């Protein structure tokens, strides 16, 4: 009977693709999320997600969870332990930590006498956690949502609600050892996600501060000038110079001197050689300290074999106020805005209209970034009897998941190859005649056996399931194996295991029911290449 059923189904595709109707249906929610839907006749609200947010489903979640898994595994290899903190903090904890970006913090209403805000990043909550719990050393990773009241660019992964994956090292260690390891984590994380066309821009806050000092910037103006320099990745020097002179009231000759330094970039050793030969910087305490630290770190970066991915870029400033030492960010060709961004922005925002999505005129931005922040914990640490606060040195990196997702999803053919579920086995039953029950109870028993063995499996919730409908359901999930209960074979302790998606019209292997788990696991292991599953291979571009 099975032979005749397989013959009847030969013309049916066994490719693991979603039928067109299902694919079209799956596209509807995404289309609705892109624009405001019309109000229902009986409802007075618009059915949409808030600006800068989106719903995530099936294939997108598979990709995102694979990113989480890849990075979590990396963090654990480096000795990381994970923590979690509240999604909102006391407002005073976040206040004054982010410079000009503080305006992007979401403040919440007064709740019972406490003023709170949604967390802007995972770094400040981590510093609060370290100080509150009296921790002197920790390697921690944290994967969680953060919130910024920024202009969204949804297709570029720039959102108001998004995930960060952070890895930080807190504690007193030999100079630049943790910093070098963090950069190794940054590079390894991107390579592990199949992102190869990136570069890591590196700078040092002490060198940058020294440059501002020798150029004549007053100490109280250093941070706001640093914020202007940080815009050089989006704007030409002429625009940044105008901001320094017109908006931030610096003499033109000071801006010109700064321009000579911040245009320097190249290999770490080459740029260091240029900086070391500068007499003004060599006499500046801040700059000379930073140059010495980077000279130490480059040796460690070479030992970790990541120096070829890193360039020393004096225009990198990182706008956040809490950085005190090395700073870095990873960028790709898509990080920068389009060359005609100004014209596109003007066209989209004409008449002062509010823009729902700025994707047309912005770039992806940095896909990972971080730096050293030695004084942040001290802002929360209690004062000792001697009147001092104990600050724990920290250095870390943060991966922007949505920005990484936007790059990964653009890969050729990835969307079609990713399966919407993790189902590995579809359980079917074939039979017929007046006495045919459909083996629904028996399929449940087989499913329970496989579930108990850790195998993801499904079956149709129908007593007498049509063979074609069962194959269609298996195709929809894209699972690689079918386990088939035949009317005559199963009562005799026999069951079939068939590999799907090969295009071959074989009946599968007839095995003993008692051997089912071992055979299924062996066949699933054969589908892996070098022990790597399909989704991980797709994410890593293997």
- 3-class SS letters over 503-535: CCCCCCEEEEHHHHHHHHHHHHHHCCECCECHH
Angstrom CA distances, 81 to 71, 76, 141, 176, 401, stand at 13, 7, 6, 21, 19
Q: What is the pLDDT of residue 531?
A: 60
Block residue for tokens 């291979």: 537
Instruction: Give the CA radius of gyration of the chain.
Output: 29
Supply the pLDDT for residue 443.
97
Query: What's the angle, vertex CA 321, arms to CA 319 and CA 326, rounded to 5?
Result: 75
With CA atoms as reference, report the closest residue to 131 among 166, 164, 89.
Answer: 89
Q: Is the pLDDT of residue 502 over 80?
A: no
The closest alpha carbon to 165, from 328, 377, 397, 405, belongs to 397
For residue 43, tell me if it sits in a domain.
Answer: no
Q: Can you tell me the distance from the alpha carbon of 253 to that of 247, in angstroms, rounded to the nearest whole number?
A: 15
330 in the same domain as 201:
yes
- Within this chain, do residues 411 and 431 fall inside the same structural domain, yes or no? no
Q: What is the CATH number of the domain that holds 288?
A: 3.30.930.10
More confident position, 36 or 195:
195
Q: Are residues 145 and 258 in the same domain?
A: no
Q: Are residues 203 and 305 in the same domain?
A: yes
pLDDT, residue 530, reads 62
- Look at residue 501 and tell me if it is in a domain: yes
How many angstroms from the chain centroid is the CA of residue 534?
19
Asked if 361 contacts 337 with a C-beta cutoff of 8 angstroms, the reply is: yes
| pLDDT confidence tier of residue 421, bands split at 50, 70 and 90 | confident
Q: How far is CA 309 from each of CA 79, 187, 369, rounded to the nearest angstrom?
A: 23, 7, 14
Q: Is 185 domain-assigned?
A: no
Confidence of residue 18 (pLDDT cuts 50, 70, 90): very low
* pLDDT tens for each residue of 247-267: 988 999 999 999 999 999 999
- Decide if 347 is inside a domain: yes
Q: What is the CATH number of the domain that holds 430?
A: 3.40.50.800
Same structural domain, 216 and 114? no
The gap from C-alpha 382 to its chain's centroid, in whole angstroms, comes to: 34
Structural domain range at position 399: 52-172+341-415
In whole angstroms, what is the distance from residue 116 CA to residue 541 CA?
42
Of 542, 290, 200, the residue nearest 534 (C-alpha): 542
pLDDT, mean of residues 127-140: 94
In a domain, 537, yes or no: no
Res 34 pLDDT > 70: no
Report yes or no: 197 and 190 within 8 Å, Cβ to Cβ: no
pLDDT tens, position by position, 457-493? 999 999 999 999 999 999 988 889 999 999 999 999 9
Phi-psi region of 541 (alpha: psi -120 to 50; beta: other; left: phi over 0): left
Are residues 217 and 140 part of one domain? no
Q: Which of the pair, 61 or 337, is modelled with greater confidence?
A: 61
Q: Supply the angle between the helices 177-192 and 58-77 in degrees, to the nearest 10.
A: 150
Q: For residue range 159-172, what is the model confidence (pLDDT) as tens digits?
A: 999 999 999 999 99
User: Is residue 98 a part of any domain in this protein?
Assistant: yes
Mean pLDDT of the chain: 86
Number of folded domains that form the chain: 3
Is the pLDDT higher at 506 or at 472?
472
Residue 134 placed within a domain: yes
Same domain, 405 and 423: no
345 and 391, same domain (yes or no): yes
pLDDT of residue 2: 53
Are 469 and 358 in a shared domain? no
pLDDT for 359: 78
Lowest mean pLDDT among 198-202, 311-315, 344-348, 507-511: 344-348
Please report whether residue 178 resides in a domain.
no
- Highest-confidence segment of 131-135, 345-349, 412-416: 131-135
Q: Are residues 263 and 274 in the same domain?
A: yes
Q: What is the pLDDT of residues 355-411, one digit of tens each?
A: 778 777 777 889 999 999 999 999 998 776 666 667 899 999 999 999 998 888 888
Q: What is the pLDDT of residue 411?
A: 81
- Residue 385's pLDDT is what? 66
Structural domain ending residue among the three candidates 316, 335, 354: 335
Task: Give residue 78's pLDDT band: very low, low, confident or very high (50, 70, 90).
Answer: very high
Closest CA to 467 of 453, 450, 487, 448: 487
The answer on 435 and 392 residing in a single domain is: no
Annotated binding site for L-histidine: 121-123, 148, 164, 168, 318, 322-323
DSSP codes, 361-398: T-----SEEEEE-SSTGGGTSPB-TTS-B-PPPEEEEE
- Specify binding-site residues: 121-123, 148, 164, 168, 318, 322-323
Report percent pLDDT > 70 for the chain: 87
Domain end call among 355, 388, 415: 415
301 and 270 share a domain? yes
In Å, what is the CA distance from 222 to each residue of 236, 237, 252, 319?
Answer: 20, 18, 16, 11
Does the pLDDT at position 296 exceed 60? yes
Domain stop point among 415, 443, 463: 415
The per-residue pLDDT for 43 is 60
Question: Both tokens of residue 490?
Answer: 């199963």
Which residues have CB under 8 Å from 419's CB, separation 6+? 16, 59, 62, 477, 478, 479, 534, 535
């Amino acid at each position: 009977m099975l032979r005749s059923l397989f013959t009847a189904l030969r013309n049916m595709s066994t490719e693991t693709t979603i039928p067109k109707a299902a694919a079209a249906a799956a596209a509807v929610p995404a289309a609705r999320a892109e624009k405001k839907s019309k109000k229902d006749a009986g409802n007075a609200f618009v059915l949409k997600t808030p600006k800068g947010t989106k719903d995530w489903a099936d294939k997108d979640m598979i990709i995102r969870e694979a990113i989480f898994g890849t990075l979590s595994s990396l963090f654990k290899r480096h000795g990381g332990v994970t923590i979690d903190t509240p999604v909102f903090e006391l407002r005073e904890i976040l206040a004054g930590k982010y410079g000009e970006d503080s305006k992007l913090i979401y403040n919440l209403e007064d709740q019972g006498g406490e003023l709170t805000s949604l967390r802007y990043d995972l770094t400040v909550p981590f510093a609060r956690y370290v100080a509150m719990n009296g921790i002197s050393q920790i390697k921690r990773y944290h994967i969680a949502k953060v919130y910024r009241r920024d202009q969204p660019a949804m297709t570029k992964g720039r959102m108001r609600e998004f995930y960060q994956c952070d890895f930080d090292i807190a504690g007193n260690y030999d100079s630049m050892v943790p910093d070098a390891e963090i950069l190794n984590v940054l590079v390894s994380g991107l390579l592990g996600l199949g992102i190869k066309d990136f570069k890591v821009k590196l700078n040092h806050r002490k060198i940058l501060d020294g440059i501002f000092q020798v150029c004549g910037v007053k100490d109280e103006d250093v941070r706001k000038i640093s914020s202007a320099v940080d815009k050089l990745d989006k704007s030409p020097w002429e625009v940044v110079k105008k901001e320094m002179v017109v908006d931030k009231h610096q003499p033109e000759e000071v801006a010109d001197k700064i321009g000579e330094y911040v245009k320097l970039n190249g290999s770490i050793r080459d740029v260091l050689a240029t900086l070391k030969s500068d007499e003004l910087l060599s006499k500046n305490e801040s700059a000379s300290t930073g140059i010495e630290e980077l000279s130490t770190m480059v040796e460690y970066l070479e030992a970790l074999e990541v120096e070829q991915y890193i360039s020393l870029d004096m225009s990198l400033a990182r706008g956040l106020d809490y950085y005190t030492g090395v700073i870095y960010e990873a960028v790709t060709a898509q990080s920068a805005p389009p060359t005609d961004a100004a014209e596109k922005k003007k066209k989209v925002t004409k008449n002062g209209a509010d823009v729902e999505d700025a994707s047309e005129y912005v770039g992806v931005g940095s896909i990972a970034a971080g730096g050293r922040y030695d004084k942040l914990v001290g802002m929360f640490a209690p004062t000792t009897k001697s009147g001092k606060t104990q600050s724990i040195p920290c250095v870390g990196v943060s991966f922007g998941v949505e920005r990484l997702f936007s790059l990964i999803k653009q890969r050729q053919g990835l969307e079609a190859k990713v399966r919407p579920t993790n189902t590995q086995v579809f359980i079917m039953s074939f039979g017929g005649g007046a006495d045919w029950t459909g083996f629904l109870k028996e399929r449940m028993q087989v499913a329970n056996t496989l579930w108990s063995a850790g195998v993801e499996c499904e079956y149709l919730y129908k007593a007498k399931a049509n063979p074609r409908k069962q194959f269609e359901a298996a195709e929809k999930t894209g699972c690689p194996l079918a386990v088939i209960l035949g009317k005559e074979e199963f009562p005799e302790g026999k069951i079939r295991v068939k590999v799907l998606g090969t295009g071959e019209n074989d009946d599968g292997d007839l095995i003993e029911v008692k051997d089912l788990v071992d055979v299924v696991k062996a066949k699933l292991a054969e589908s892996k290449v070098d022990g790597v599953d399909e989704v991980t291979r797709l994410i890593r571009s293997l």
